Amino acid sequence: MQIRKNSKSERFRSFIAPRPRPNDRLLRSLGCAIDANPGLIAVDHFGQTSVHGVWAAGNVVTPSAQVITAAGAGSASAIAINRWLLQKDLDVASAARP
């Protein structure tokens, strides 16, 4: 195995772990707050970010999120989004009543 130019090392097996990098450019460009400790997008328990009407889930908010936990967080966020949209519709309908 060649590690660097002109540097070889005899190995039977090698394991290289990928470096996870969340694809959060859109969320950052929208101005979503960043959690200082892990440096990921900050959300509440329902996945809502600091930007009104924007939710996030998965590895952009949890560094250890695997597919199943990301799917669960996405589902919880979807329920919260549905509730938020329903409330907006109810507010509009209420405001339109005489």
Q: Where are the domains of the chain?
A: 21-96
Q: What pLDDT, on a 0 to 100 scale, did the predictor assign at position 22?
A: 86
Q: What pLDDT, on a 0 to 100 scale, did the predictor assign at position 50?
A: 97
**Rounded Cα–Cα distance for residues 34 and 49 (Å):** 9
Q: Kindly report whether the global pTM for this prediction surpasses the value 0.95.
A: no
**21-96 maps to which CATH number?**
3.50.50.60
**Rounded Cα–Cα distance for residues 34 and 30 (Å):** 12
**Rounded Cα–Cα distance for residues 70 and 66 (Å):** 6
**Rounded Cα–Cα distance for residues 60 and 49 (Å):** 11
Q: What pLDDT, on a 0 to 100 scale, did the predictor assign at position 34?
A: 96
